[in-house]
Structure 1
Amino acid sequence: MATPLTADAFTRALRGEGVHFVEHGTWKTHNRNHMGPWGPVHGVMLHHTAGTSSLTLCRDGTAALPGPLCTGLIAKDGTVHLVGYGRTNHAGSGSTAVLDAVVAERTPPPPGPDAVDGNARFYGFEIENLGNGRDPYPAAQLAAAERVSAAICRAHGWSAASVIGHKEWTRRKIDPSFSMPGMRTRIEARLGVKPVPAPQAYAPFPGAAFFVPGRRSALVTAVGERLVAEGCGRYTVGPGPVWGEADVLSYAAWQRRLGYVGAAADGIPGRASWDRLRVPVVRGSAS
């Protein structure tokens, strides 16, 4: 039982555990807190998406189930996409007996009747998978689920017993489609050792002169992908590796997001706006 971590303390915990994550838009304040309290929190709940290309769905939800639908989406490559923070529509109602077990940090019993609001009590993470028993969970993805869960447990002083699956919370669900006892064993082992941080590496600013029409570089693609992630993409095709008009329009949208106007929002990266975009290091970024 604990007060939820602040968003900044949460990201520090992820970095400390070596989690590779991407922040999407105003995720730190994107939540459903107006529908009820978030906290005190008792644990972490893991899910699978039962679909593909789920980033937009996890962030925005649907008319029937408004987003965000989780704190983060764990992609196949192990990247954790942060889409919301606070109360999110991930857990729904679940078992009082299971919540009592999580609070006591013991193995959960089979779920009883739905009676408790889980959205108020758990951090929630969706894991990209069809959930049909044939779609694999790559090693990097399972490692990310382990690291994310351990990061939160370590920050709160919880044991691995504070991590449950949606299928353990309610009889209505079957996710995630992997062994939760096995995942808790992994988390327990990780909590027993000091984490080796793997700091997020961002590409250094290459200078405004780098961004000339026709410049070809993997870095250009990475810039475009970050702009799309921030909701500033103005692409009909791409983004791709060649710097062009769509990249300029997209970067100008990012500059305006940051408050730049007029000539200061010309679509050519400057150091200050570049540093805030946080473009990851990529291989083959030379022209």
Structure 2
Amino acid sequence: MARFSGATWKPIAINHKKGGQDSVQGVVVHIMAGTLPGTDSWFRNPKAQASSHFGTGKDGRLWQWVDTADRAWAQAGGNRTWLSIENEGEGGDALTSAQMDRCAEVLAWAHKTHGVPLQVASSPSGRGLGYHAMGGKAWGSHPLCPGSRIIAQLPEIVKRAKALIGEKPKPSGYEPFPGAAWFKKNPRSPVVTAMGKRLVAVGCSAYQSGPGPQWTDADKASYAKWQRKNGYRGIDADGWPGKATWDALKVPRTS
């Protein structure tokens, strides 16, 4: 028996297979095309022939209909090895932040309870946080479930699940954006030197070192050249680093 204490237990007597969960590869995200109470009512109808382990409401409610030792009827050929979570909303919707939090809580619980890895899955052979459409014909041919906007949110859900279990994100090999004010205060820093070297490496040779690491007019001119070279225009090519352009430049870490 496996019930998540963070969910409201709403057991259904039909539309699932008792003890039928063979294993757990991950959690599949769905969109209801309806409301949480409406879906609850449908799962109790013998005509539905459908169910889900979990469901979220836009307001952050989390319900569990089927024990994860049992097989819910949510994604056809994926039912044997995947858990399911339906989300209140219509096709084309994005999940609310509260819904993402609840999905993250389910994923973190599935990680601890069933060994589900905290990663995005993109095919039925993968493991982690998947989505209904990835199963194709074998999963009932639902190309619009849960929709592109929700699929784009899956990495954020994984990130939140990792935070829940205390896993810290691994730092990238690049300097994080220090904020626009940091440059306007003309700091002396190895980060500026690393930025200058990076600008030279990508062909913006206007960079010239000032008297020690600092933000100079030459740096600004070189950065503006790089911005224009990469298609930025107007205020986005004014020579001042913004988060988007800084992240795209990929300045190597200095420490």
So what's the TM-score if we normalise by structure 2? 0.51
Q: Deviations over 1:138-167 (max 9, x none)?
A: 211122112212221232333223110001
Match of 1:154 in 2: 112
Task: Judge conservation of contact 2:57–2:88 (CA < 8 Å) in 1.
Answer: yes
**Residues 27-46 of structure 1: matches in 2 within 5 Å?**
27=12, 32-33=16-17, 37-46=20-29
Task: Judge conservation of contact 2:56–2:85 (CA < 8 Å) in 1.
Answer: yes
Amino acid at match of 2:165: K
The CA distance in 2 between the partners of 1:194 and 1:41, in whole Å, is: 19
The CA distance in 1 between the partners of 2:42 and 2:26, in whole Å, is: 20
Distance apart, 1:44 and its partner CA: 0.9
Match of 1:164 in 2: 130
**Residues 104-253 of structure 1: matches in 2 within 5 Å?**
117-131=77-91, 133=92, 135-159=93-117, 160-161=119-120, 162-171=128-137, 172-173=141-142, 174-177=144-147, 178-180=149-151, 182-191=153-162, 194=165
Q: Deviations over 1:219-270 (max 9, x none)?
A: xxxxxxxxxxxxxxxxxxxxxxxxxxxxxxxxxxxxxxxxxxxxxxxxxxxx
Task: Judge conservation of contact 1:43–1:163 (CA < 8 Å) in 2.
Answer: yes
Task: Judge conservation of contact 1:91–1:118 (CA < 8 Å) in 2.
Answer: yes
Identity of aligned residues (%): 19
Q: SS of the residue aligned with 1:123?
A: strand
Distance apart, 1:180 and its partner CA: 2.7
Gap runs ≥5 in structure 1:
1-5, 16-20, 93-116, 196-287
Gap runs ≥5 in structure 2:
121-127, 167-255
The CA distance in 1 between the partners of 2:112 and 2:42, in whole Å, is: 25
Distance apart, 1:193 and its partner CA: 5.3
Amino acid at match of 1:76: K
The CA distance in 1 between the partners of 2:64 and 2:38, in whole Å, is: 13
Task: Give the number of the structure whose alpha-carbon radius of gyration is greater.
Answer: 2
Match of 1:78 in 2: 60
Amino acid at match of 1:74: T
Query: What is the root-mean-square deviation of aligned Cα atoms in Å?
Result: 2.8
When structure 1 is superposed on structure 2, of 70-79 and 51-60 the one drifting more is 51-60
The CA distance in 1 between the partners of 2:49 and 2:21, in whole Å, is: 16
Aligned: 1:22 with 2:5? no
Amino acid at match of 1:184: P
Amino acid at match of 1:37: G
Aligned pair count reads 151
The CA distance in 1 between the partners of 2:14 and 2:72, in whole Å, is: 9
So what's the TM-score if we normalise by structure 1? 0.46
Distance 1:189 1:163, change over 3 A: same
The CA distance in 1 between the partners of 2:23 and 2:94, in whole Å, is: 34
Q: SS of the residue aligned with 1:130?
A: coil
Q: SS of the residue aligned with 2:111?
A: helix
Match of 1:48 in 2: 31
The CA distance in 1 between the partners of 2:83 and 2:60, in whole Å, is: 18
Q: Deviations over 1:50-105 (max 9, x none)?
A: 12342334531451x324x101221111111122221111011xxxxxxxxxxxxx
Q: Which has the higher contact order (CA 8 A, sep 6+)?
A: 1
Q: Deviations over 1:178-228 (max 9, x none)?
A: 343531343145325535xxxxxxxxxxxxxxxxxxxxxxxxxxxxxxxxx
Q: SS of the residue aligned with 1:11?
A: coil
Task: Judge conservation of contact 2:101–2:160 (CA < 8 Å) in 1.
Answer: no
The CA distance in 1 between the partners of 2:30 and 2:42, in whole Å, is: 12
Distance apart, 1:30 and its partner CA: 5.6
Amino acid at match of 2:114: H
Q: Deviations over 1:5-28 (max 9, x none)?
A: x22xx324xx4xxxxx2222x45x
